[in-house]
Structure 1
Amino acid sequence: MTQVWRDWGPVLVASAVALPLAGLVAVLLTRLRRRSGLPVRVAAWRSVAEIGMVAGTLPWIWMILTPRPAPRTLDPVPLRGLVDLLTGSPAVAVVQIGGNLLVFAALGFFAPIRFAALSRPAGPLRRTASGALRLLAVGAAGSVLVETLQYALDLGRVSAVDDVLVNGAGAMLAALAARRWWADGDPDRVAVPARPGDPERSSPRRSE
């Protein structure tokens, strides 16, 4: 824990300070959308999802792209690094694997809430499977970009295939954790504003 604080203390402090600001921005976005005529539920979900994706991902990207005084390393062999971690210190394994699972977890959680296209059925796949696989791909793609930057910028870090696999898995697991908010109905289907003179129309609501 001491090592984590020593390495990432500034990032943790900055993230804690930024949380109230992120909440304020979400409130302001919700109010702006309400003024444009969106139902409060839709406006709030969209705003929270957008801010959540950004605020929950940027600190991890900051950590990953922080230079270290070491030579850059490339590890293209799948699962080799994971096996080494799992056969070593349990504490190190928890920190390393847990951290990699969380890198794109916020993106995986909030993206299918904000963007209904990410959870639409594809061919024979059900909506849950389609959404999970899409977020696996999104998380893996983001990880490939980050790992490429690490190596290209010579940041003194290990660019590993295992990181891509675990980052993608983290996004997928987070998407599945948010399933009740997207697989059974996306925020855009909460309400259909009625035209002047028409009775209010609404579409099926999600369960709380």
Structure 2
Amino acid sequence: MARTWELWGNVIIAGTFALPLALLAILLLFRHRARARHPAPLRVSIADVGIAVGTAPWIWMILTPSDGAAGVGLVPFADLTDLLGAPWDAVLVQVGGNLLVFAALGALLPVRSRRMSRLGRVAAVAAAFSVLVEVLQYTLRLGRFSSVDDVLLNTTGAVIFALVTRRWWADRIPARTVPR
């Protein structure tokens, strides 16, 4: 875990200092949307800023150049299987970190938009962004390993966190009517 702090401590510190700016952004967006008579100015402002602030540090970490093994893993679950023999802290960082990459997106996208209040849509958006990040890792030659397993874990994390916030947005889903 000391190595994790050594690698990513600056991201944690920057994220901590960004929190007051995030609160200011929420306030300014709320005031702007309230003046424009938006139907849910506070909820949407919190969701917009929360998605950005909750996702940006992870993207920063993922797109930071590394001296690790570069390559591409296109066989689903192969990299996760290889990880089974690794020390627990490596598994925690790899799996836990990948589950958290799009957690804010998954948790707040349905809160922000009724169109995104279906788990399949949340999964599709998270998967698309995850594929984009993995392609960037590879094409920018960052010394990182791009893997389909990362896409699966990123997407799973977004869906899990959408389920965690479901009580905040499920009541906004229109009831299905039975065809007559």
TM-score, structure 1 normalization: 0.80
* CA distance in structure 2 between the aligned counterparts of 1:86 and 1:110, rounded to whole angstroms: 31
* CA distance in structure 2 between the aligned counterparts of 1:101 and 1:45, rounded to whole angstroms: 24
The equivalent of 1:180 in structure 2 is: 167
Of 117, 122, 132 in structure 1, the residue corresponding to residue 119 of structure 2 is: 132
The equivalent of 1:22 in structure 2 is: 22
Greater mean deviation of Cα atoms: 63-72 or 176-185? 63-72
Q: Structure 1, unaligned stretches of length 5 or more?
A: 120-130, 190-208
The equivalent of 2:4 in structure 1 is: 4
Is 1:74 aligned to residue 72 of structure 2? yes
**Which of structures 1 and 2 has the bigger CA Rg?**
1
Give the partner amino acid of 1:140: A
Deviation at 1:70, TM superposition (A): 4.0
The equivalent of 2:178 in structure 1 is: none
In the TM superposition, 1:39-188 aligns within 5 A as 42-70=40-68, 72-119=70-117, 131-185=118-172
Contact 1:71 1:154 in 2 (8 A): no
Give the partner amino acid of 1:31: R
Equivalent position SS for 2:172:
coil
* CA distance in structure 1 between the aligned counterparts of 2:160 and 2:53, rounded to whole angstroms: 19
Show CA shifts across 1:159-183 (max 9, x none): 0010000000011111111101111
* CA distance in structure 2 between the aligned counterparts of 1:49 and 1:20, rounded to whole angstroms: 16
More helix by share: 2
Equivalent position SS for 1:159:
strand
* CA distance in structure 2 between the aligned counterparts of 1:167 and 1:138, rounded to whole angstroms: 11
Equivalent position SS for 1:74:
strand
Equivalent position SS for 1:67:
coil
Deviation at 1:71, TM superposition (A): 5.0
Q: Structure 2, unaligned stretches of length 5 or more?
A: 175-180
- Computed over aligned residues only, the root mean square deviation of the Cα atoms, in angstroms, reads 1.5
* CA distance in structure 2 between the aligned counterparts of 1:150 and 1:38, rounded to whole angstroms: 38
* CA distance in structure 2 between the aligned counterparts of 1:58 and 1:50, rounded to whole angstroms: 12
Q: Percent sequence identity over matched residues?
A: 51
Matched residue pairs, number? 174
TM-score, structure 2 normalization: 0.91
